[in-house]
Amino acid sequence: MSKSRRSKSFSRRPSHPGRRPSDRPFRSVASQLTPAHQRAITEGADAELRGDAAAALRLHRSVPMFRDSSHGDLLHQLVELGDHAPGWMVNRWLTVQARRRLWTGIDEQATNRALELVVPLIYPESIPFERIGCEHVEQVIPWINARDWVVRQFDVYDLGGLGRLIDRHASPELLARCDDIEAWTHAQLSGCRVVRVDPARRDPVVIADLATGDHLHVLDLGAEVEPGDHVLARLVPVSVDPGLMFDWQPLPVSAPVARAVSAKPEQWLPAIYAEARRGNWEPGQSHLPEAVITSDLPYRSWMTLAGVPLEKCAERSPHPYVVDAVEEVLRRAADGPEALGGLRHAIGDLVLDPAFDGTARWRFVSPDQQGAWALLGELVPAPARPRCEEMAIWCAAAPERRGEIA
């Protein structure tokens, strides 16, 4: 990209008069890293490529700036799940690793690729600071790299980030835990219309592939979609029923965008650019909330069970809310499975969250709660079932408690 185009994209005033970049000095995480921290990051990345989540977690948390990071939470979950982590979750972990090699400077060309090839097409006029949440100009590229769905898709798949990772870096032991990861690297982006969503979120989501007209059944991981919605998604094979899933949370789009991508899936990025020029693509539309790999819900969206607004969930500490959220779930469970509605994925993310640690769990171990935990063990997604089943076992073995639990 030319210097003039780069200047246009990044030096313009933000597109909303109520939000401007801060005048306060900006200090990036990278500027605070010592050589020891850099070694920990590199060694942690190597441990992830070996599939050693425990070593990766220890190294990641050894960097002070990462002690409360969402990536550390992901590694914590993988450590606790161990062999219970399904193959599709390991695949998603590999896509995260492909992205992190770009963010942490291991792949030095990554930022230039995003800047020169993708950003001008999805932000043709200016970058909306107010939508993507940046307070400093220096945050723009890191935030786009971390949160922009289009940038992620293009780098992981179209520019070969995942393919290079599995061909050159990932260990055979890690690849053996995957669900046909090679097929993921060749999966094509699709424009889809949502046909059916089970209100209880237990049956597969039914979508119509706009390129072929075929109705396809996709593993329900809680994506926030409704019948009639149009989305962009990469449909990938998995070893569990129904055999297909979204590689990542799908991106809601207008019907014209979905149809344009379906017409020329190999040219999906120029198609989005053309639709943006026609007014069918909102500035910052592909900037999504931080994601998790256990579901298609935003990071820590389970905090809404404790009354936290969705837009505030990722920025607040979960510890003041985890007890209230579990109490709400158990209260509903006492009224039977129908009272839990379509919350199974949010509940699964809640019980797998590192904030639901031993101290928090012990508050909910009593004989009168055994039935609720047993019910949850039947309802939650497979990765979270062992945690709920374990809670039910503890409840069955626990003595009666009197008085308030401290």
Which pLDDT tens digit goes with each residue over 134-163?
A: 676 666 777 777 788 999 999 899 989 999
Contacts of 388 (CB under 8 A, 6+ apart): 351, 373, 374, 376, 377, 380
**Is pLDDT at 404 greater than 60 in this prediction?**
no
Mean pLDDT, residues 45-58: 96
pLDDT band at 10 (very low <50, low <70, confident <90, very high): very low
pLDDT per residue as tens digits for the range 257-316:
999 999 999 999 999 999 988 989 988 889 898 899 999 999 999 999 999 999 899 889
Q: Does pLDDT of 240 surpass 60?
A: yes
Alpha-carbon distances, residue 125 vs 4, 12, 120 (angstroms): 13, 9, 8
Q: How many CB atoms neighbour CB 350 within 10 A?
A: 28
Q: What is the pLDDT of residue 102?
A: 66
78 vs 283, more confident: 78
- pLDDT higher than threshold 50 for residue 51: yes
Beta bridge partners of 207: 194, 216
* DSSP per position, 181-215: HHHHHHPPEEEEEEEE--TTS-SPEEEEETTT--E
**What's the CA gap between 219 and 381, in Å, rounded?**
11
Report the chain's terminal Cα–Cα distance, integer Å.
Answer: 60
Which residues are CB-contacts of 150 (< 8 A; sequence separation ≥ 6)?
A: 118, 122, 251, 269, 272, 286
CA torsion sign for 142, 27, 53, 378 is: negative
Percent residues over pLDDT 70 in the chain: 86
Mean pLDDT of the chain: 87
* pLDDT of 106 over the 70 cut: no
Question: Which pLDDT band holds residue 108 (cuts at 50, 70, 90)?
Answer: low
Distance CA 87, CA 93 (A): 10
Measured distance CA(317)–CA(284) in Å, rounded = 26
pLDDT at 110: 63
Cβ atoms within 10 Å, residue 83: 5
Question: What tens digit of pLDDT does each residue of 243-263 get?
Answer: 999 999 999 999 999 999 999
pLDDT the model gives residue 101: 76
**pLDDT band at residue 18 under the 50/70/90 scheme:** very low
- Tell me the backbone φ, ψ of residue 112, rounded to 5 degrees: -65, -40
Tell me the C-alpha to C-alpha distance, in Å, between residue 148 and each of 152, 156, 284, 344.
6, 12, 8, 27
pLDDT(15) > 60: no
One-letter amino acid for residue 73 of the chain:
D
Q: Give the pLDDT score at 8.
A: 29
Radius of gyration (C-alpha) of the chain in whole angstroms: 22
| Residue keyed to tokens 């185009």 | 5
